[in-house]
């Protein structure tokens, strides 16, 4: 009897973990195909053919404290994610010492060279080195090999964000404590910075941009470490600016519903275009349990607003989303 019960329980738990998810639940644990909470913090997403790849900081428990890890997950519908593997398992590449930092990895695809180029924030434990690192792979699922690090156009760079425009041009957003928030164009081969598009003289990190109906919307958070704060947005008709003043994206007292921006993802379907706000709800003392706040934004005509988080679902074909409660 005991034996039969054990088998039944095992079957039930396997089935539950493999069950198709039909909603995104902001702030809740987000299980992958194996039932493990997704580890892709401070992440970014690219779409190759019909597959989305989500890269982020791998922070599960039991990792080698000398190495830094970047995970890769794949999905066809943005709700169900399959862990592929840790595409980076890197030892300290530049003698930065104990506690060295690899944060906010972002992967771009270069269609001509067929290379996947990862940018990440590389630093020492005091956050003084302030550089971007680059690692390259021949496939979306790695392994990525470290190539070099540098300060973009000679500037300090901590948090980075990724933006690929509708024409395929690739941009890097980075935070420079001396000057502000930079938006730079990457060279064609993605291996260096070509030129500065904008320097926004604001102290903003967690930068993200989306191009929606002829306007660029930029988002950033204030510099409050792991603590959430009211994230803000501005708009411009060109990446070269001028940018409007920055305004709240949510009621400021909610501190962006306890989250920090990492990316905005535009999903273009047959009937609708949905822009998803992707953010981290950090738990600095138990980073493996940090959560994700993904919500479709109310966006258009120069306005951007993050609705109160609640479960929602997406039809990846039509591009339309549905809120659980209306």
Our finding on whether 124 is near ligand DGJ (CB under 6 A) is no
Task: Classify residue 50 by its DSSP letter.
Answer: T
Reference 103, options 205, 8, 27, 184; nearest CA is 205
Residue (127 or 192) nearer to ligand DGJ, CB: 127
| 8 A C-beta contact, residue 209 and residue 234 | no
Binding mask of the shown chain, residues 128 to 157, with x at each position contacting ligand DGJ by CB under 6 A: ------------------------------
Residue (59 or 190) nearer to ligand DGJ, CB: 59
State phi, psi for 287 to the nearest 5 degrees: -60, -30
What is the C-alpha separation between 57 and 50, in angstroms, rounded?
A: 23
H or E element, residue 90: strand 82-91
Residues 304/309/312/316 CA torsion (nearest 10 deg): 40
Our finding on whether 228 is near ligand DGJ (CB under 6 A) is no
Structure tokens at 20: 């198709």
Reference 172, options 159, 157, 162, 158; nearest CA is 162
Our finding on whether 226 is near ligand DGJ (CB under 6 A) is yes
Closest contact distance (angstroms) between CB of 38 and ligand DGJ is 17
Q: What is the CA radius of gyration of the chain?
A: 19
242-301 positions binding ligand DGJ, by CB under 6 A:
260
State phi, psi for 255 to the nearest 5 degrees: 50, 55
- How crowded is residue 7: how many other Cβ atoms within 10 Å of its Cβ? 9
Contacts of 200 (CB under 8 A, 6+ apart): 180, 181, 182, 183, 218, 234, 241, 243
Task: Classify the C-alpha dihedral 97-99-103-108 as positive or negative.
Answer: positive
Binding ligand DGJ by CB under 6 A: which of 56, 204, 205, 220?
205
Our finding on whether 26 is near ligand DGJ (CB under 6 A) is no
Residue (32 or 103) nearer to ligand DGJ, CB: 103
- Number of amino acids touching ligand DGJ (CB under 6 A): 9
| 8 A C-beta contact, residue 230 and residue 204 | no
Residue (110 or 203) nearer to ligand DGJ, CB: 203
Closest contact distance (angstroms) between CB of 197 and ligand DGJ is 21
The residue sitting closest to ligand DGJ, measured at its beta carbon, is 225
Residue (28 or 226) nearer to ligand DGJ, CB: 226
Binding ligand DGJ by CB under 6 A: which of 42, 43, 44, 133?
42
What are the helix (H) ranges across 182-246?
none
Residue (58 or 159) nearer to ligand DGJ, CB: 159
Our finding on whether 104 is near ligand DGJ (CB under 6 A) is yes
Closest contact distance (angstroms) between CB of 188 and ligand DGJ is 28
Reference 288, options 26, 25, 40; nearest CA is 40
Binding ligand DGJ by CB under 6 A: which of 58, 86, 103, 124?
103
163-202 positions binding ligand DGJ, by CB under 6 A:
none
Binding ligand DGJ by CB under 6 A: which of 225, 242, 251, 252?
225
On the CB side of 186, CA atoms within 13 Å amount to 26
Binding ligand DGJ by CB under 6 A: which of 159, 172, 274, 277?
159
- Can you give the binding site for ligand DGJ, defined by CB under 6 A? 42, 103-104, 159, 205-206, 225-226, 260
């Amino acid at each position: 009897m005991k034996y039969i019960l054990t088998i039944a329980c095992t079957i039930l738990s396997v089935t539950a973990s493999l069950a198709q998810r039909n909603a995104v639940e902001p702030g809740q644990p987000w299980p992958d195909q194996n039932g493990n909470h997704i580890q892709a913090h401070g992440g970014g997403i690219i779409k190759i053919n019909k597959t989305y790849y989500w890269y982020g900081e791998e922070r599960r428990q039991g990792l080698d404290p000398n190495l830094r890890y970047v995970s890769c997950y794949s999905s066809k519908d943005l709700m169900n994610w399959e862990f592929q593997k840790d595409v980076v398992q890197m030892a300290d590449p530049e003698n930065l010492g104990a506690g060295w930092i690899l944060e906010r990895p972002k992967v771009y695809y270069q269609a001509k060279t067929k290379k996947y180029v990862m940018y990440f924030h590389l630093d020492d434990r005091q956050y003084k080195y302030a550089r971007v690192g680059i690692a390259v792979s021949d496939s979306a699922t790695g392994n990525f090999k470290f190539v070099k690090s540098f300060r973009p156009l000679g500037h300090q760079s901590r948090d980075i964000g990724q933006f690929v425009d509708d024409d395929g041009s690739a941009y890097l957003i980075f935070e420079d404590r001396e000057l502000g928030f930079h938006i730079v164009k990457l060279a064609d081969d993605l291996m260096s910075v070509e030129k500065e598009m904008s320097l926004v003289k604001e102290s903003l990190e967690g930068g993200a941009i989306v191009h929606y109906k002829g306007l660029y919307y930029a988002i950033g958070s204030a510099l409050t470490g792991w603590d959430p704060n009211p994230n803000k947005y501005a708009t411009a008709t060109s990446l070269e600016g001028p940018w409007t003043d920055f305004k709240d994206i949510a009621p400021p007292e909610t501190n962006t519903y306890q989250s920090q921006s990492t990316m905005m993802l535009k999903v273009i379907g047959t009937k609708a275009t949905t822009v998803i706000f992707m953010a981290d709800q950090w738990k600095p003392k138990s980073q493996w349990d940090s959560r994700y706040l993904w919500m479709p934004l109310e966006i258009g005509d120069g306005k951007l607003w993050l609705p109160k988080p609640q479960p929602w679902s997406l039809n990846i074909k039509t591009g339309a989303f549905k809120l659980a409660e209306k």
